């Protein structure tokens, strides 16, 4: 894969998810992408993410009882899906 100075959408998705799921974030998102989109994580697009948000939301809803947290997380994902999809690396 060509080197890139930006963080992929997938990485950003994992980073957002890490706030809510901690170290399980990477595995959780990888499984969501694999199961619902059947494509490699590095090929995740904004359109894919929009399709994925509902599934991520229902899956997280069974891991926490706090629906406000779930809605907040889903809102963060929607924001990410609407952004330009890449961001500069902080390191």
Partner 1 sequence: MPESHAIAPDHLPSEQRAEAEALFTSIGDGAISTDAFGRITRINPVAQRILGYREDELLGGWFPKKIIAVTPDDTVVNLIDRPISKAFLTGHSISEKMHYRHKDGRIIPVAISVSPILVDNKPLGAIEVFRDITLQEEIDRMKSEFISLASHQLRTPLSAIKTYSHMLVDGYMGKLTATQKQSLRTIIGAADRMNELVSTLLNITRIESGTIAVTPKQVQLYKAAEEVLKELSLPAADKAITLSLRCRDKSRATIKTDSLIFKEIVTNLVSNAIKYTPENGKVTVTVRPRAKDVLMQVNDTGWGIPKYAQDQIFSKFFRAQNIVKRETTGTGLGLYLVKGLVDALEGTIWFKSDEATGTNFYFTIPRKTKQAVRPRRRRPTVSKQTTNESN
Which residues contribute to the site for partner 1 (CB under 8 A)?
Answer: 31-32, 35-36, 54-55, 57-59, 61-63, 65, 67, 70
Question: Rounded to whole angstroms, how far apart are CA atoms 90 and 77?
Answer: 20
Q: Which is nearer to partner 1, 16 or 59 (CB)?
A: 59
Question: Rounded to whole angstroms, how far apart are CA atoms 66 and 11?
Answer: 25
Q: Which is nearer to partner 1, 6 or 40 (CB)?
A: 40
Taking the complex as a whole, how short is the minimal distance between the CB of residue 32 and partner 1, in angstroms?
Answer: 7
Comparing CA positions, the residue from 9, 22, 16 lying closest to residue 63 is 22
Q: Which is nearer to partner 1, 74 or 87 (CB)?
A: 74
Taking the complex as a whole, how short is the minimal distance between the CB of residue 79 and partner 1, in angstroms?
Answer: 19
Question: Rounded to whole angstroms, how far apart are CA atoms 61 and 73?
Answer: 10
Burial class of residue 68, CB neighbours in 10 A (0-12, 13-18, 19+): exposed
Q: Which is nearer to partner 1, 35 or 83 (CB)?
A: 35
Q: Which residue in this structure is represented by tokens 């069974």?
A: 62
Taking the complex as a whole, how short is the minimal distance between the CB of residue 73 and partner 1, in angstroms?
Answer: 12
């Amino acid at each position: 894969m060509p080197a890139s100075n930006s963080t992929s959408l997938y990485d950003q998705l994992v980073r957002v998810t890490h706030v809510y799921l901690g170290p399980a974030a990477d595995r959780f998102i990888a499984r969501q992408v694999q199961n619902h989109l059947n494509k490699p994580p590095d090929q995740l697009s904004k359109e894919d993410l929009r399709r994925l948000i509902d599934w991520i939301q229902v899956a997280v809803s069974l891991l926490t009882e706090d629906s406000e947290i779930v809605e907040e997380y889903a809102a963060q994902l929607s924001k990410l899906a609407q952004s330009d999809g890449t961001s500069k690396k902080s390191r």
